[in-house]
A and B are shown apart, each in its own frame.
Chain A
Amino acid sequence: MPWYSAGPLTGPAGAARQALDDVMRVRRGWRWNAPRPHTWPEQGAVVPAPPSDLGWARVEPVRSVRWLIQRLLLMPFTEAMVHPKVEGRGWVRELKRPAIFAANHSSHADTSLILYSLTDEARDRTVVAAAADYWFKHPVLGNIVSLFLNTFPFSRTGGAQGQLHSSSELLKSGWNLVLFPEGSRSPDGRIQEFKPGVGFLAKETGTPVVPVHIQGAFQVMPRHQRLPLPGPVRVRMGKPMSPASKEGTREFTARVEKAVRTLATKPEQPDVQGTWIERWRASKPRELRYGDGG
């Protein structure tokens, strides 16, 4: 027993240092991306465990922590960097049930921009499909991204039925889903062909799809660039679309793609022209139309 009396903080400080040491030891002990040492036995051929859908990220208190992170970090940062101009938010407000937000994808900034564009209520109930082979290659990174953005692993390689099933389960349990049907970021900023997963999900669950077009994100943070640059960005949301009863998955996907392309080419909203009556009429969400059958 020491001759001196311990101060009131000695105990807690020691415990905290011990915990920190443990964390650092674990952090340094495993290197997930290092090549496997040749002295280690080869892994046996086993059936891989079903991938985690990161359910922990969608329960309390993680949701509250994410709410704080998004409100205090993500949204102010997005606002400060690009000051996005959002059009068609009224469609989100009018949604009475979960929806799929299908957007073009040209940048890592896209997810933040879409979350920024949603209403508070919709954002708190939104999961983001993130490429399993990219974001979840390193478990630590995948979990951190999930904490920030509520992502879950979405397989973009073959045999994706299982993944589509977990996505539809999320939709059925009341979550909105952000999906980039192109599959990966555009190399040059132009919209690529949409993969049919979005149509499949919409058909299976009867969920409406909200087409979203993001303009300017490619200039902010293109592929192979690590840090975002400030620049103007516009996020435009369209009218929710539902597949017709006899419409096939691929036909519906093509229609969604067309809607996104239409949003990209649509002229500026006439918000600075005409009398207020004309501006009011022009800004009415229900009057936005794109293509046939929309």
Chain B
Amino acid sequence: MPRPGAVIEVDRNTPPALFHFGEGVRLEKLPLGARIVYPPDPLEPIAHPERAIKRALARPLEDDPLKALLRRGMKLTIAFDDLSLPLPPMAAPDVRQLVMEEVIDMAVEVGIEDLHIIAALGLHRRMTEDELRHIVGDRIFSTFYPDRLYQHDGEDPENNVYVGKTAHGEEVTLNRRAAESDLVIYVNLTLVPMDGGHKSMSTGLASYRGIRAHHNVKTLLGSRSYMNPPDSALHHSCIRQGQLIEDTVRVFHIETTVNNHAFPAIANFMQKRETDWTAQDQAMFLATKQMTDLAPPAFKRNVFHAMRAPYGLTAVHAGQVDAVHDKTLDAVNRQIAVHVEGQTDIVTIGVPYLGPYNVNAPMNPVLVLCMGAGYLFNFYRNKPVLRKGGVLILTHPCRYEFDAVQHPSYIDFYDEVLADTKDPAEIEQKYELRFAEDPWFRQLYRKSHAYHGAHPFYALYWAAHAMDHAGDIIVVGGDREVVHHLGLKCATTLEDALEMAEQTVGRYPSVTHLRTPPIMLCEVD
């Protein structure tokens, strides 16, 4: 039986805590009385994933068995989540591949000829052939690519259709192929509660016009947090859009969840609690630390990004979207929920090398902000672990480095927009549309492997809630100039950062360290 998550109090015998530090790691001694929150241990994976998938397709929730929905001569489309999930990328075979192979076998049995497979990118970058092959597997790739397996293009005027407007005035658009299909099968992988459900279709296969309805400052500030769908304005909006889509096209949802076994054996020490470390884990930490201290960033990046997570499938459900997603959220929460009592004055988080938007690329400063103050801060239910006006301390080298292929719009955003103002609402009003409609960014999104021109804005909006909630955000070990450019404070060591934080929250503050990744969701009383 895997252990549940835990909160421990630091005493004299507590070993130092691991902090992720971009493409590196640190061990830091936390002050006596501080709390460390650990995620639950990985749940036991399902022993026979193929059987579980077959069972889910044969006995779906509030829907007919998939076989009954398929008929010869129909127009069938399979859509699946892109490489922003899971993180790190999953060791082959990806569960999406297993699900799709099962679905395709059924389609072959029935004799469906008109079958397309679409990567539901939304406004994310196009994947390379190797990345696509990794997700779908050799067999699907060699059979379908490139004419029947391709990636959604949210800026293609020919291949996106306007579906309508919700009662709240949100515009809804959809990929033309999906909209004109007799049946769309959406294959999802839910790692965190934010993913899946109606959000899959309403963002994955939408255009900028549809996505901007909920990816905006007002909606994200109204999401407390967007990792908890019932309290998330973002999800409410997605549900309204999704319902309109379900009225337009028949969708069969297949959602999978994996455990939080995020690191391979070589990086076991990142997965384990420090109190469980063996001499071998200590040695691996030392080796990793020396390597990451000495090696040039590009080398470290190659090593870290080569890691594949040995995730195990924990649940697979199929059928009607709401029924499926409820079950999926239960499974996700079973894996990542940790009970935490009360808020604290200071929260410390180590920002790792990888977020959803920098797979095979450096984490640029805007994404550091998005990851630390956006995603990691928002992993809570009820209320944040950090009290209102408290100090959030992140550790990351936060260098001025951008991937010119993946993040061209981020460079202009950082240099031009953030130099002018740091206020998300003002940025949205003054700059977003110009970037979104920039023909060069549009061209790079469509033909190269670049994120959409509006994407850096969304990265900032994710962090808007934390920036509004926290009194200060301090980045330990960051490049001073870069950190100040983001509107944050910089410290050289954690001790310095805690001293600086006392200026804001007063003497003898309470401190909580969130030991993540692996991912966890703090249920705060």
Contact = CB atoms under 8 A, between A and B. Distances in A.
Bound together: yes
A276 B148 contact: yes
Nearest to A283: B139
B146 interface: no
A139 to B, nearest CB: 25
Contacts of A279: 142-143
Nearest to A88: B138
Contacts of A276: 113, 115, 143-144, 148
A71 B306 contact: yes
Given A72-B303, A280-B104, A64 B144 contact: no
Nearest to A75: B306
- Where chain A touches its partner, the secondary structure class is helix
A60 interface: yes
A121 interface: yes
Given A68-B303, A121-B91, A61 B113 contact: no
Contacts of B108: 277, 280-281
* Count class of interface residues, chain A: 20 to 34
Interface string A106-121: 0000000000000111
A275 B142 contact: no
Interface in A235-294: 271, 275-277, 279-281, 283-284
A192 to B, nearest CB: 31
A109 B267 CA distance: 30
B49 to A, nearest CB: 12
Interface string B125-150: 00000000000001100111000100
B111 interface: yes
A72 B302 CA distance: 8
A110 B146 CA distance: 32
Nearest to A94: B50
Interface in A80-138: 86, 89-90, 93, 119-121, 124
A69 to B, nearest CB: 12
Contacts of B284: 61, 64
A93 B93 contact: yes
B92 A90 contact: no
Nearest to A86: B138
5 contacts: A61-B280, A63-B265, A64-B266, A120-B91, A277-B113
Interface of B: 91-93, 104, 108, 111, 113, 115, 138-139, 142-144, 148, 265-266, 280, 283-284, 287, 302-303, 306, 308, 310
Given A124-B265, A283-B139, 19 more contacts: A60-B280, A61-B283, A64-B284, A68-B266, A89-B138, A90-B139, A93-B92, A93-B93, A119-B92, A120-B92, A120-B308, A271-B143, A276-B113, A277-B108, A277-B111, A280-B108, A280-B143, A281-B108, A283-B143
Interface of A: 60-61, 63-64, 67-68, 71-72, 86, 89-90, 93, 119-121, 124, 271, 275-277, 279-281, 283-284
